[in-house]
Structure 1
């Protein structure tokens, strides 16, 4: 790469090409930056498997109180159009960082000069795959939203139909409580939450875990600790217990996409892209990565930064600025993403209440759910305004 890219041609005579691989939350920041100030002489393309980004924070509330799909989604095509970015509907299935090439699921190969990856990770369903159509992973999120209404309708008219949620993190807890609230009073068997971690809600305070356990017990959600694998009719725990289930919702941990293995990029021990605090690849300076697919250590504490939607959103402006600086001058000094020491989490509990978790502080109440609704709806509404050309959206980081 050479300084002064902007407005120049690449080595083969075409305009400099920037590829945004993935429609993740981090790339929202790039779209917003390009809408405000498009870089001159740069050909930018967004690759996304879906036109709409489903905002995961609103899915539990949508399950308990179904609303129009538009209330959950952000139109990436509209945002890309406004930014002057070509939008390609497809999934990345391979890449060669050395040859600067990305492979799509339709076999198409796209070359790039600069690449940013925000495809997210994959739900690890390796031990649950034998469930076949009974398995409902939380990702891809659009699939969950499309399939859930059928599962709900089947559960309400099928005696003994049990929904088991696997995963003791925030997503598992919220979904188990939302599903329990939705199916309450139907013919369905009680909802079950299976956690293979020693403590529910890892990364949260003991107070937050206690509040979640109390709400699960009150809602009649059976909490079971153990590692689950698939059987023809449900789950088998490592304790030997068998759990029949008509549907198993997988809210298990995130794993790195398999296509990264042969990408040539430096990866961490789990297969995620190793980046520095400036979100640039540790091995290939023409590649950036952000969100769940990236892995790096915070300089202040030396700990690997946790993967969460909160971090992905906050990375967006930093990623956008660093891409812009690199396009102007490949040797430019880049911004550093500094994660907040504590992040605010609001976990819906399926009863018009929510748990507020912030470091060691944890509280619950209807006011917390009202606060969550306000934040979530404003987030989606502001992106809709930006996509439509309306004014009034402010930067946040």
Structure 2
């Protein structure tokens, strides 16, 4: 009997769990290893921050889903992988042996380039740390977000909306960004979301952060911004797991995979979502849309590889629909160069997010 181990409860692995419920067989032993019983859905982080969703509405019970799918669930953190011996080592000292392994463990939010960041950052990844961190943000009188991407803007706007709704209009929410906001969406969309962010009461400061201490964020131009809590959301960083073994990675430390989602040197090692980079499409966005679309390909390829059968390539989309919450049940929708701010966009996002969690038993 072949053993397939899934490490992490990300979007692609959730698809595999659901498909296993529909396609039970006794020829493969499936195992899911995750540091938490619950997988929190990042698409609803902003809504939870704003108070729209309860904690239970944002999470998926992996242990329950594994029981339905005939998986063995192991609540551990994988610390290292030996791809030659096909072993995984966990934080509890367990060693798991696999025939095939897949990683869907997301990314981390920090930066080695900013002095003091690791000591003072309020990380919301891994996702299971998210709820306790939001409590701290709700209490914070001065919150600073570092980063000009979608995650930083969405979280800052949602937090500001919660502050206003709960009578804390005097609490400051600031975003420090080195590049134009949502720069990859194009100049028109960038200007548009900048105006929305200003109108919602979030303060913007363009500058590159070089240092953080216990009370202040310092930029390269000499500006200092005081804070009670700050979060670095400056884009995905590679998880440390791949930095300590011989699996090939890209220059940033993400697992390097081919179009079949296999390690470029170890075909029985797979990777999807934020933790992996496609060798032939290195600029593919590391976001939930990509991870969701990789799910069906991963499921077919894990089963195909285990049966010495057919595997198929993953083809990234050139354009995709993206919606972020901008507070007060308004959404900012982009598709290519098109963008729209409206309540209808938020309702569409809400429908997509709620449907996703409910599909997996949330």
Q: Does 1:283 align with 2:262?
A: no
Which of 277, 290, 297 does residue 311 from structure 1 map onto?
Answer: 290
Which of 109, 123, 128 does residue 109 from structure 2 map onto?
Answer: 123
Match of 2:22 in 1: 36
Q: Which moved more, 1:135-144 or 1:19-28?
A: 135-144
Report the CA distance between 1:333 and its aligned residue: 3.2
Which of 200, 219, 235 does residue 181 from structure 2 map onto?
Answer: 200
Report the CA distance between 1:353 and its aligned residue: 1.0
How far apart in 1 are the matches of 2:91 and 2:332? 40
Match of 2:203 in 1: 222
Q: Does 1:191 align with 2:173?
A: yes
Classify 1:150/1:190 alpha carbon distance in 2 versus 1 (closer, same or farther; 3 Å).
Answer: closer
Classify 1:181/1:108 alpha carbon distance in 2 versus 1 (closer, same or farther; 3 Å).
Answer: same
CA contact (8 A) 2:136 2:229 kept: no
Classify 1:303/1:114 alpha carbon distance in 2 versus 1 (closer, same or farther; 3 Å).
Answer: closer
Normalised to the residue count of structure 1, the TM-score between the two structures is 0.86
Q: Does 1:345 align with 2:325?
A: no
CA contact (8 A) 1:138 1:144 kept: yes
Q: Deviations over 1:259-288 (max 9, x none)?
A: 312322111111111111110111001111
How far apart in 1 are the matches of 2:162 and 2:23? 45
Match of 2:126 in 1: 140
CA contact (8 A) 1:96 1:262 kept: no
Q: Which moved more, 1:181-190 or 1:228-237?
A: 181-190
Report the CA distance between 1:187 and its aligned residue: 6.3
CA contact (8 A) 2:177 2:205 kept: yes
Match of 1:167 in 2: 147
CA contact (8 A) 1:35 1:83 kept: yes
Q: Deviations over 1:125-156 (max 9, x none)?
A: 4356846785322312221222212431x33x
Which of 283, 293, 303 does residue 324 from structure 1 map onto?
Answer: 303
Q: Does 1:232 align with 2:232?
A: no
Which of 365, 384, 396 does residue 361 from structure 2 map onto?
Answer: 384
Give structure 1 stretches of 5+ with no counterpart.
1-14, 156-160, 386-397
Q: What are the within-5 Å matches in structure 2 for residues 22-101 of structure 1?
A: 22-101=8-87
Q: Which moved more, 1:127-136 or 1:70-79?
A: 127-136
Match of 2:194 in 1: 213
How far apart in 2 are the matches of 1:103 and 1:26? 22
CA contact (8 A) 1:94 1:259 kept: yes
Classify 1:107/1:222 alpha carbon distance in 2 versus 1 (closer, same or farther; 3 Å).
Answer: same
Q: Which has the larger radius of gyration?
A: 1
CA contact (8 A) 1:129 1:135 kept: no
Report the CA distance between 1:328 and its aligned residue: 0.6
Q: Deviations over 1:87-116 (max 9, x none)?
A: 000111111111111111112111111111
SS at match of 2:102: strand
How far apart in 2 are the matches of 1:150 and 1:249? 11
CA contact (8 A) 1:169 1:200 kept: yes
Which of 274, 277, 286 does residue 295 from structure 1 map onto?
Answer: 277
Match of 2:251 in 1: 269
Report the CA distance between 1:55 and its aligned residue: 0.9
How far apart in 2 are the matches of 1:368 and 1:311? 20
Q: Deviations over 1:329-379 (max 9, x none)?
A: 1xx331111111111111111132111100111111111111111111111
Report the CA distance between 1:66 and its aligned residue: 4.5
Give structure 2 stretches of 5+ with no counterpart.
none
Which of 245, 251, 256 does residue 227 from structure 2 map onto?
Answer: 245
Report the CA distance between 1:255 and its aligned residue: 1.7
Q: Does 1:333 align with 2:315?
A: no
Calculate the aligned-residue CA RMSD, in Å.
1.8
How far apart in 2 are the matches of 1:235 and 1:165? 10
